[in-house]
Amino acid sequence: MYRSIYNRLRNILCEKANIKKKEVKISTLVTSLGLDELELIELAADIEHEFDVELPDNIFEEFNSFGEIIGFIEAEMGR
């Protein structure tokens, strides 16, 4: 399931941040993508919609890296 979440989330990040897939690694910090506050809110909404999960309001402060967010999504989907 981790690989599936990784691929789907990477596609969302690439589209939102207008970056190439090879630029997104497990250790990539979401805050390093150059998104402003509104774009981060939209990114969180896109993630919630894609995975049918509810993210905490401070998701990008609580979970810094792409890998941490994948882990959170995986845990939520397993409930």
CATH number of the domain to which 32 belongs: 1.10.1200.10
25 Rama sector, left if φ>0, alpha if ψ -120 to 50, beta otherwise: beta
Q: How many domains does the chain have?
A: 1
Per the structure, the complete domain to which residue 66 belongs is given by: 2-77
Query: Under a CB-based contact definition with an 8 Å cutoff, are residues 46 and 12 in contact?
Result: yes
Does pTM top 0.85 for this prediction? yes
For the stretch 13-53, pLDDT in tens is 999 889 999 988 999 888 888 889 999 999 999 999 999 99
Q: What is the DSSP string of the chain?
A: -HHHHHHHHHHHHHHHHT--GGG--TT-BGGGG---HHHHHHHHHHHHHHHT----TTHHHH--BHHHHHHHHHHHHT-
